[in-house]
Amino acid sequence: MSAQLNANARRRAFRAHLAGEACLYPASIYDPMSARAAEELGFELVFMAGSVASLVILGAPDLVIVTISELAEQTRRIARSTTLPFFLDADHGFGNALSVMRTVEELEAAGLSGMTIEDTALPEHFGQSGASLPHSLEESVGKMKAALAARTDPDFVIIGRSGSVATTGVGDAITRIRAYQDAGVDAIFLSGLSTREEVEACAAACRVPLLLGNVPATLRDAEALAKLGVRAVITGHRPHSAAVRATYETLRDTRAGVLGKQPEDEAPMMDRLSRKKQYGEWRKAFLTSAKEAKS
């Protein structure tokens, strides 16, 4: 199967999940090995946050300083490594509506299944104090329409994202949900909701699948959320922070001369996730003469 066909299949699978009745918890991933670990463990979807992308690519905080070309390269590496639907946070699309179009073109070509475009005025402007507010409704709708116009595969999922509940209130968030739906987005992603009442009010305004991020643990009742039309909840990004901590602690111990014992299951796990057996078969098929292969 070609990479493009594989991308198409994963996009259709993503749409099927969104059209279903279950609320899923996507795996937070950041590179090919973490995506394969999620696949082996039975996750249905994988997601990369903008904050994690910034840490992985630049070792920098989430200040929107990653470029679209850098994000597209990391996307391509992950997308080619997994059969799972893969979507990510594309922040504000790296600029105005025309920049959003370029972002869609690059990420779709990289094999992504879907992306969020948020309405927050990013990056932080000179003299700003406090949280970033949303763009005007008119500009935000323009970005959503630009994203939809730029995709070439109709199965590529465009998700309108807003954090307006926490900044301009539930009323404004509902206005934006309705406007983005009217513009044609495939789903809505909301962050910053903190109460069940907020979730219910926003869900009632949604005609398309709803995804949530950064909701309190007390609201993560998959069955109850599913009944409200919530199809995915992002539960944080511990895998990457855990990996950084493990690396730091291992290097610390190595520096101190305390090498410790290598975990017995480490090599088999690395072999599985790196597809060592498959590469071995390819080596035998393509790097070995017929005479050597028989011996």
187-191 and 210-213 beta bridge pairing: parallel
Q: Which residues of the chain have pLDDT under 70?
A: 1-5, 290-295
**What is the model's pLDDT at position 139?**
98
Are the C-beta atoms of residues 192 and 203 closer than 8 Å to each other? no
Other beta carbons within 10 Å of 249: 10
For residues 288 and 271, what is the distance between their CA atoms, to the nearest angstrom? Answer: 21
Q: Which residue has the tokens 């795996």?
A: 27
What's the chain's Rg over C-alpha atoms?
A: 21
Q: Is 158 helix (H, G, I), strand (E, B) or coil?
A: strand
280: amino acid identity, one letter:
G
pLDDT of residue 34: 98
What is the C-alpha separation between 238 and 172, in angstroms, rounded? 31
Read off the pTM.
Answer: 0.94
User: What pLDDT was estimated at residue 289?
Assistant: 82
Q: How far is CA 49 from CA 171, 247, 280, in A?
A: 26, 21, 34
Class of the CATH domain delimited by 3-243? alpha beta
Domain coordinates of the chain in residue numbers? 3-243
